[in-house]
Structure 1
Amino acid sequence: MNTSPANRSPSDIQRRLVTTGLILGMGQAGFFDGIVLHQLLQWHHMFSGIKTDATVAGLELNTLGDGLFHLFDWFLLSLGITLMWQLVQLRVPLSTRTLLAAGVLGFGLFNLVEGLVDHQLLGIHHVKSGPHELAYDIGFLILNAIITASGWRLLRTSQKQTASSPQ
């Protein structure tokens, strides 16, 4: 890894830290969705909107979909950890606030995109199927829009704070 001074500019470090936080937040959001909504609450599986999980064949397909989703989440977290490790190796000050803000932003963005694409556009599943599935889907989108906006606001204030601090 090249750690020359040219690759250690504050703006480069800041950009890399934000990217790392976004990726870590996205991976955490995916695991949260998979663990809480798929496994603990058992509200849906990955493909329950197109193939029922009430049959053995349907459950097998949905379990496969859940596994592929978790594999993708694992990849995101592994990538985020690798990027964080590379940043730590630079031995420069890193802003915890920036990392956490970017993580919150990544968490919200992941669920916002997943909610729009999987629930609304493709209809492969809903947050909770049934007579009120649209209300659950809209609630999920609103909650994650709030999380996304909060992450964006935290990130903006963090970047202003970092820019005004002495280097």
Structure 2
Amino acid sequence: MSTVKNRNILSGILFGLGLVAFIDETIFHQLLHWHHFYDKSTTNVGLISDGWFHAFSWFATIGGLFLFADLRRKNELSMIKWIASVLIGGGAFQLYDGIIQHKLMRIHQIRYVENVFIYDFVWNIIAILMLVAGLYLLFRSGNTKNEKVVY
């Protein structure tokens, strides 16, 4: 795998991971108040954990955008690989959150209701769809002989 392809993929994955984490934190933590990043302690600890989570998501997003700008400046940006990688990064984060953090570590649930199954199901299905779509686009773009670099 070439360095240019790796940098397109890394940029997209960082941006996708950061974007989905940012959306999760903004909608489910701040606007809907469904949970905090860490719910096994006091509300203050939950709020502090949300702050760290928010900072992490912004670092990933900004890092991905810096790489994006550098790829674009060097005329090495492959939009299809980048978009595919955004979907992969976002889907991977969401699936990790849904399986590892929600179910295995139990540091928080999507929502604290009697029947959380539907929330978990929708959360993880969306993650899987994002991953599958991203992987499909990435493999499809790898089979293109004369891939045009988008400026």
TM-score normalized by the length of structure 1? 0.81
Q: 1:31 aligns with which of 9, 14, 22?
A: 22
Aligned ranges 1:9-158 → 2 under 5 Å: 11-48=2-39, 50-51=40-41, 58-90=42-74, 92-158=75-141
Structure 1 unaligned runs (5+)? 1-9, 52-57
**Preserved CA contact (<8 Å) 2:141 2:147:** no
Amino acid at match of 2:53: F
SS in 2 for 1:20: helix
Distance across 2 between alignment mates of 1:41 and 1:155:
34
Structure 1 residues 21-56: Cα deviation after superposition (integer angstroms, max 9, x where no partner): 0111000010010011111222111122x23xxxxx
Moved over 4 A (4+): none
Amino acid at match of 2:32: L
Query: Percent identity between the aligned chains?
Result: 29
Structure 1 residues 59-101: Cα deviation after superposition (integer angstroms, max 9, x where no partner): 21111111010011011112112222332332x2422121111
TM-score normalized by the length of structure 2? 0.89
**Preserved CA contact (<8 Å) 2:4 2:76:** no
SS in 2 for 1:80: helix
Distance across 2 between alignment mates of 1:133 and 1:157:
36
Cα RMSD between the aligned structures?
1.8
**Preserved CA contact (<8 Å) 2:12 2:86:** yes
| CA radius of gyration, larger in | 1
> 1:166, CA displacement in angstroms?
6.2
